[in-house]
Chains A and B, each alone.
Chain A
Amino acid sequence: MSAVFEQIFQVGFLAAIIRIATPLAFATLGEMFSERAGVLNLGIEGIMLLSAMTGFTATSLSGSLWLGVLAAVLTGMLMGALHALFTVALGLSQHVCGIGVTLFSSGLAYFLYRLIFGQQSVPPSIKGFETLPIPVLSSIPVLGPAVFNQFALVYMAILAIPLAAFVLYRTPWGLSVRMVGENPRAADSAGVSVIATRFQAVILGGALIGLAGAFLSMAQFNAFTFGVVSGRGWVAIALVVFGRWDPWRSAGAALLFAFVDALQLRMQASGLGHIPYEAFLMLPFIFTIVAMAVMSRNAVAPSALLKPFRREER
């Protein structure tokens, strides 16, 4: 028993949890902003994939990692704007548009990647982000090497959580976002532009989703593969529900998921060789479904989620 315990709380394991949680935290916060404004973004899976592709490509062509991150963020914002155009400006079904954005973005990612890099026997890779130990903090026992010896993008994700909470709960814009998500008609009466605020929230969400994509292809795998996202976007949507549309709880949900994911990776590696590793890959997804079942009864979504706003209609 204690051997198992020791294995779990190794530094490497904690570091793995943080690394797995990072793209999920970005994606979850991004989806949360969008949903708090009343817009479900099912395009997240495809937007992550396209951002991972543009980020990887920009870095591969320019040699600059941060230029790649910028490309990924801009991609996310652009696709967010596209989703907002359909769902906010035109008021189309958020469910179906989101699936459309995902199909379109993934198709575009595959198409452009194949066009730029051709079909190579060894997939091209880049020299991705390297760990950046923070002086003093990284020498704290256990926690130091796990949390403070990470990629720059990990620190950005950690800082993004309080920042997101501050923006959502403590700024006038955050108040507007919450108003248009809860009661757009009241927000409109109070002089808040529902359309503009929703656009801004979905685009900001897109930027964060773009960072999630950038992390996958530029820090975690250092390459773009067609399976680079493989369901993480859908998981992020579930984590927003699990985190009850709150930045802190959503980030906590991402950590919890990352714990389960890291655990199954350990189980794959440790002696259970006769079980195919794919069996373990199912576990985080089953966990997420069960967690949603447990949480959803009490979860209260933003009241105007999924509802388009048209001023003239009452």
Chain B
Amino acid sequence: MFRLEVRTSTPAWFNLALPLLAIAATLVLCSGLIALAGAGVLEAYGVMFTASLGDSYAITETMVRAAPMIFTGLAVAVAFRAKFWNIGAEGQLLAGAVASCFVGAIPMPGPLAMLLMAVAGAAAGAAVALVPATLRVKFKVDDVVSSLLLNSVIYYALMALIEGPWKDSFSGYPISPPIEDSANFPVLLEGTRLHLGVVVALIAAPVIWFLIVRTTLGFRIRVTGENPEAARYGGIHVERVLISTALLSGALAGLAGVGEVGGVHFQVMSDISPGYGYSGIVVAMLARLNPLGVVPAAIFLAAVMTGAEAMSRATGVPAFLSDVIQGTALLAMLVALLFTAYRIRRVGAAR
């Protein structure tokens, strides 16, 4: 006989084992869809792997895609630590992209432009995140719903911009004017798209880890999330912590948009984010809300996205498989997390 028992502590290797278990389960489950599409499962996954991690160019492409998801993953991880349910990283990313595009179009020396783009993008993302946080603190509005609805508001605002004042009057395309050439983020490896923003994303992860684990603000964020009553009792101003968390989370999501404008697209268009904000939730959960874990989790999702396109070209399986994989991975990870709360214990028959 087996029995579920409540676990009091979890071994450290779980942090690695659980996401790997979830990813393995996801790939097995999704192989059914590949077979349904009439392709060889191993062949399809093989193409996905080769096209995303098989050679150095493929790896740079995957890293370019991972960068925005590292930022949105960090944004979600920070927010969820405080149980501020920020599902609005998508809108915050778009706001960051728009703000940095405004700044990047102003002629000024390159390094200054890049710095101001980052500041403007982070500020815009933070401003957007401030809305659901304020509504929750002041009006008891559910932060999930308001941050989700705000995504639509920001998206339509962006569309109105590129269909209106920003519209290219020459070509008629709904795209913003490009940023100044001098504001384009430098490419780090000749012949690739690996840009400065990718490195900034990789540095941001340990910085946020330090902030969460080693600083007073990080401590307050964690206590507020784990036990708001105890936090209040211990003299922590919970509402203020929620607002600070929202500002930090929104700024990180805004930086994801800055990287896309400065390093990849150099302008704003309607499909500048293929849902990086929502992918950030998957990334953060796979990472178990650990900022350091966000990096490999984001690289995994980026590899799936990059690989899915090549797989689609080679085997005819729709590239939307990557969307199914994301959703399945999130659900599989949640189930895997049960192992942190419970253990399966064999109950001896001899008694």
B321 touching A238 by the CB < 8 A rule? no
| Given contact pairs A96-B285, A276-B163, A289-B146, A230 touches B330 in the complex (Cβ within 8 A) | no
| Given contact pairs A42-B144, A86-B334, A111-B320, A276 touches B327 in the complex (Cβ within 8 A) | no
| In the complex, chain B residues whose CB is within 8 Å of the CB of A111 | 33, 318, 320-321, 323-324
B160 touching A276 by the CB < 8 A rule? yes
Please tell me which one of the listed residues B140, B146, B328 contacts residue A297 in the complex, with CB atoms under 8 A apart.
B140
Question: Which residues of A42-93 are within 8 A (CB) of B?
Answer: 42, 46, 86, 90, 92-93
B324 touching A108 by the CB < 8 A rule? yes
Q: How large is the interface on A (under 10, 10 to 19, 20 to 34, 35 or more residues)?
A: 35 or more
B37 touching A231 by the CB < 8 A rule? no
| Given contact pairs A103-B282, A111-B324, A296 touches B140 in the complex (Cβ within 8 A) | yes
| In the complex, chain A residues whose CB is within 8 Å of the CB of B150 | 285, 289
Q: Quick one: closest A residue to B154, CB to CB?
A: A282
0/1 per residue, B315-343, Cβ < 8 Å to A? 00010111111111011001101100000
- Tell me if A114 is interfacial: C-beta within 8 Å of chain B: yes
Q: Given the complex of chains A and B, what is the CA–CA distance between A195 and B85 in angstroms?
A: 26
A285 touching B318 by the CB < 8 A rule? no
B327 touching A100 by the CB < 8 A rule? yes
Please tell me which one of the listed residues B87, B135, B144, B159 contacts residue A278 in the complex, with CB atoms under 8 A apart.
B159
Q: Given the complex of chains A and B, what is the CA–CA distance between A125 and B180 in angstroms?
A: 44
B141 touching A97 by the CB < 8 A rule? no
| In the complex, chain A residues whose CB is within 8 Å of the CB of B87 | 99
| In the complex, chain A residues whose CB is within 8 Å of the CB of B325 | 107
| In the complex, chain B residues whose CB is within 8 Å of the CB of A285 | 149-150, 152-153, 156
Please tell me which one of the listed residues B139, B148, B323 contacts residue A107 in the complex, with CB atoms under 8 A apart.
B323
Question: CB within 8 Å of B: which residues of A?
Answer: 42, 46, 86, 90, 92-93, 95-97, 99-108, 110-111, 114-115, 230-231, 234-235, 237-238, 241, 275-279, 281-282, 285-286, 288-289, 292-293, 296-297, 299
Question: Which residues of B76-100 are within 8 A (CB) of A?
Answer: 85, 87
| Given contact pairs A114-B318, A276-B159, A288-B149, A103 touches B135 in the complex (Cβ within 8 A) | no
Number of interface residues of B (CB under 8 A): 46
Q: Given the complex of chains A and B, what is the CA–CA distance between A235 and B145 in angstroms?
A: 8
Please tell me which one of the listed residues B151, B164, B326 contacts residue A103 in the complex, with CB atoms under 8 A apart.
B326
Please tell me which one of the listed residues A90, A114, A292 contacts residue B141 in the complex, with CB atoms under 8 A apart.
A292
27 residue pairs of the A-B complex, CB under 8 angstroms, read A46-B327, A92-B334, A92-B338, A93-B334, A95-B144, A97-B331, A99-B87, A100-B331, A101-B331, A104-B324, A104-B327, A107-B320, A115-B37, A234-B145, A234-B152, A238-B149, A241-B145, A275-B160, A276-B163, A276-B164, A279-B160, A279-B164, A282-B157, A282-B160, A285-B150, A289-B135, A289-B146
Q: Given the complex of chains A and B, what is the CA–CA distance between A100 and B337 in angstroms?
A: 14
Q: How far is the CB of B175 from chain A (nearest CB, A)?
A: 14
Q: Given the complex of chains A and B, what is the CA–CA distance between A114 and B335 in angstroms?
A: 29
Q: How far is the CB of A19 from chain B (nearest CB, A)?
A: 20
- Tell me if B36 is interfacial: C-beta within 8 Å of chain A: yes
| In the complex, chain A residues whose CB is within 8 Å of the CB of B140 | 296-297, 299
Q: Quick one: closest A residue to B164, CB to CB?
A: A276
| In the complex, chain A residues whose CB is within 8 Å of the CB of B149 | 231, 234-235, 238, 285, 288-289
Please tell me which one of the listed residues B141, B152, B318, B331 contacts residue A231 in the complex, with CB atoms under 8 A apart.
B152
Please tell me which one of the listed residues B85, B278, B338 contacts residue A95 in the complex, with CB atoms under 8 A apart.
B85
Which among A111, A281, A288, A293 has the greatest number of chain B C-beta atoms within 10 A? Answer: A111
| In the complex, chain A residues whose CB is within 8 Å of the CB of B328 | 104
B321 touching A103 by the CB < 8 A rule? no
